[in-house]
Structure 1
Amino acid sequence: MQLKGELLSPMNIPDGCRFVTRCPYATEACKNGVPKLQEISKGHSVACHRAKEIL
């Protein structure tokens, strides 16, 4: 997946997920909370609220 959209300003980082302005799968949950790191398969982890749903 190639990210598109607004690049984050290091001076004005939004709340929630750092990719919320660029991710086509972003939801309100992404805007409101930082996702926790979760293992999706042995040795592979992601920090995404929707990882299990998308993958």
Structure 2
Amino acid sequence: MRVSDVLALLAAGADEAEVLEDYPYLAAEDIRACLEYAAAQTDHAIMTAS
């Protein structure tokens, strides 16, 4: 399962318990890792032309 799949489920309103029930091969730590990865991807330097 891709990180984007987990994030899409959460964005669609599924809570952690639902995701874990539907995908028993995932653990709560996997969901947190997906969220951490997504957060890290949004934390980048912004450069502006002057």
Query: Aligning the two structures, in what range does the TM-score lie when normalised by the shorter sequence?
Result: under 0.3
Please identify which structure carries the higher helix content: 2
**TM-score normalised by structure 1 residue count:** 0.21
Task: Flag the structure with larger Rg.
Answer: 2
Higher relative contact order (CA 8 A, sep 6+): 2
**TM-score normalised by structure 2 residue count:** 0.22
